[in-house]
Amino acid sequence: MLAVNDVFAVYDGAITALEQVSLSIGPGSLVALLGPNGAGKTTLLKAIVGMLPFERGEVTAGDILFEGASVRGCHPAVVSRRGIALVQDGRQCFRELSIAENLRAASLVSRQGAADRFEMVLHYFPFLKEMLDRPAGVLSGGQLQMLVIGMAIMSKPKLLMLDEPSLGLSPVMVQSVFDVVERLHREAGLTVIVAEQTVPRLLKLATDVYVVSRGRIVMHAPPSEMTEERLQRIYLN
Amino acid sequence: MTYILQLVTAGLAVGSVYALIAIGIVLIYKCSGVVNFAQGAFVMMGAYLTFAASRLGLPPVLAVTLALVLMAGIGVLAERVVLRPMLKAPVVAVMMVTLGMLIMIRASCLAVWGPDPLAFPRIFPDGALELFGVFITYNYLTAGVLSILLSLGFLGFYRFTAVGLMQRCAADNPRAALAIGIHTSNQVSLAWAMSAGLAGVGGTLLATLNGLSLGLADIGLIAFPVIVLGGLTSLGGALVAGLLLGLLQSFTDGLLSPMIEDLLRAHTRIYSVGALQQVVPYALLVAVLLLRPQGIFGRKGSERL
Ligand SMILES: Nc1ncnc2c1ncn2[C@@H]1O[C@H](COP(=O)(O)OP(=O)(O)OP(=O)(O)O)[C@@H](O)[C@H]1O
Ligand SMILES: [Mg+2]
């Protein structure tokens, strides 16, 4: 479904953030993309959706194929329309707009079936129902994380990518976020990539694990071979 | 009493044109974080373009529409050619560039149409309407009603349409907007187009009231009290503040100035305080900034001038 082939990426024309990164992700998989701070997880996800040029970054070599067609160099709007949604780090939403407007805005890329997807979002996140008219800025960190996942659903993705969704959340909140991710994967049939530093729960859900360190893929293994200790050793190396 | 009503109607009519112009400034600020000092130049240029179009023999409605479209084009051009290359520059530098645009556009109009005020073609019929003893000329009436309709129409567009929603997303959080597939740079261009278009119509309306001259560009300064009252981030605030400013000027002109002049004449040799109308808005601006730095309608934390 998604193939990243020998991708190199730089910031400011000089700082190399990705070196010869390759991934191959089949439909229906749930991939854990692990790596320590500054490893290049965010850079890789942004490279896939075409957002690097907006951060003074650039993919300098390699190719990115989604469903057989290259998306390298495409505008994020185009990539989004092809069916890749990125839930960015930092829970990016529109704080001054109402929750309903946030969701509606996210559905503008593919309006067909938006009403059904809206029902689906409310089904997964029932607490939003009572808050639809309130500005998104009033939500707590955990609620915001739910909202931005809901926004991603509204854009009708085939591939859903989440960048450190657990960051700064309480263990209980992390638990419910991953519950939702699992249900989206299992019930809605989405292909999912989750970038995290370590979340034991994620290793249990994942069908495939990639580990990034210093801009390179240093390990690709089934989750059964991936233990916390092994990960620690890679991180400390 | 009738006199007061007279002042109110005149103030509201002019104020609604101010509102139209101020909405444009707020729109650009929300989308690109830049206070556009060239807005006054857009106002003036719009009026000159309407003038030129009617000189070519176009009927008023077509002349104004053509000017609006041309101004929208100029707005896009300004954003694409002048501002976009400065995307990474400090905000102050960008504002200086808009000041440069003001000077450039003014100079171009001076070169083409000369320094003297021109007789603006009559767009609205002569004569006046009398309502409860209050006279309002068709000029003022149409300018006021048209501005209010345009302003409200624009606010409705911004609030309720899909494109308006994209505008608000791009203004609120460009990074998030990009991720959900909104062409943020197109939205910024669109904001400049709409803003310059509104300014152009506002300029035409002002010219029907006060005549056509380079002085129309000064309205860019008048709009700043409006912005500060409204708090720079609220379109509705800009609308209300524009009306307030119009009222304020009208009352200064019609009540305060004559009173002060009487007083001065009795005790001094000063006969006229004609410029008071220009001073009051700025005195108010300072007062508002002292009391409520975020403006009357702005939220706390929104940026200050
Ligand atoms: N906008 C930028 N400009 C320059 N360098 C950047 C930029 N963003 C990231 N980098 C650099 O690229 C490298 C990879 O960063 P990236 O954000 O992709 O890591 P990450 O794995 O997401 O880390 P974290 O877990 O902390 O989010 C880092 O060395 C970082 O300093
Ligand atoms: Mg990151």
Which residues 174-193 of chain B have a CB within 8 Å of chain A?
175-183
pLDDT of residue B305: 39
Question: What is the A31 CA–ligand 1 centroid distance (Å)?
Answer: 20
Say yes or no to pLDDT of A34 above 70: yes
ipTM here: 0.92
Mean pLDDT for the stretch of residues B199-227: 85
Q: Rg of chain A's alpha carbons, rounded to an integer?
A: 17
CA separation, residue A145 to residues A79, A87, A103, A115, A134 (Å)? 22, 9, 13, 21, 16
Of B302 and A55, more confident: A55
pLDDT of residue B105: 94
Q: Using one digit for the tens of pLDDT, what is the confidence trace for A107-117?
A: 998 888 899 99
Separation CA B295–CA B234 (nearest Å) = 10
Mean pLDDT for the stretch of residues B233-258: 84
C-beta A17 within 6 A of ligand 1: yes
Which of A77, A86, A104 lies closest to B183 in CB terms? A77
Q: How does the average pLDDT of chain B come out, rounded?
A: 87
Task: Could you list the beta-strand ranges (E) of B65-149.
Answer: 128-131, 134-137
Domains of chain B and CATH, by start: 2-291 (1.10.3470)
Q: Using one digit for the tens of pLDDT, what is the confidence trace for B38-49?
A: 999 999 999 999
Structure tokens at B181: 């597939």
Q: What percent of chain A has pLDDT over 90?
A: 86
Lowest mean pLDDT, pick from A75-84, B91-100, B279-288: B279-288
| H or E element that contains B147 | helix B138-160
Q: Using one digit for the tens of pLDDT, what is the confidence trace for A129-149?
A: 999 999 999 999 999 999 999
Q: Which of the listed residues A10, A11, A19, A196 should we mutate to test ligand 1's pocket, taking the one with most ligand atoms within 8 A of CB?
A: A11
Show the 3-state SS of chain A: CEEEEEEEEEECCCEEEEEEEEEEECCCCEEEEECCCCCCHHHHHHHHHCCHHHHCEEEEEEEEEECCEECCCCCHHHHHHHCEEEECCCCCCCCCCEHHHHHHHHCCCCCCCHHHHHHHHHHHCHHHHHHCCCEHHHCCHHHHHHHHHHHHHHCCCCEEEEECCCCCCCHHHHHHHHHHHHHHHHCCCCEEEEEECCCHHHHHHCCEEEEEECCEEEEEECHHHCCHHHHHHHHHC
Is B303 near chain A, with CB under 8 Å? no
Domains of chain A and CATH, by start: 27-52+74-236 (3.40.50.300)
Mean pLDDT for the stretch of residues B237-246: 85
Q: What percent of chain A has pLDDT over 70?
A: 100
If you average pLDDT over each of A82-96, B217-231, B288-302, which comes out highest?
Answer: A82-96
Mutate to test the interface with B, among A78, A97, A99, A145 (most CBs of B within 10 A): A97
Structure tokens at B73: 């084009």
pLDDT of residue B121: 85
pLDDT of residue B302: 44
Which pLDDT band holds residue A32 (cuts at 50, 70, 90)? very high
If you average pLDDT over each of A100-104, B12-16, B227-231, which comes out highest?
Answer: A100-104
Say yes or no to pLDDT of A22 above 60: yes
pLDDT of residue B304: 38
Distance, C-alpha B256 to centroid of its chain: 24
Global pTM reads 0.89
pLDDT of residue B149: 95
Q: Using one digit for the tens of pLDDT, what is the confidence trace for B147-184?
A: 999 999 999 999 999 999 999 999 999 999 999 999 99
Q: Which atom of ligand 1 is nearest to the CA of A197?
A: 25
Q: Using one digit for the tens of pLDDT, what is the confidence trace for A149-207?
A: 999 999 999 999 999 999 989 999 999 999 999 999 999 999 999 999 987 889 889 99
Residues in a beta bridge with A34:
A196, A211
Is A127 near chain B, with CB under 8 Å? no
Q: Using one digit for the tens of pLDDT, what is the confidence trace for B132-150?
A: 788 888 889 999 999 999 9
| Residues from chain A contacting residue B179 (CB–CB below 8 Å) | 49, 51, 76, 80, 85-86, 88, 92
- Which residue has the CA at smallest separation from atom 31 of ligand 1? A38
pLDDT of residue B299: 58
Which pLDDT band holds residue B88 (cuts at 50, 70, 90)? confident
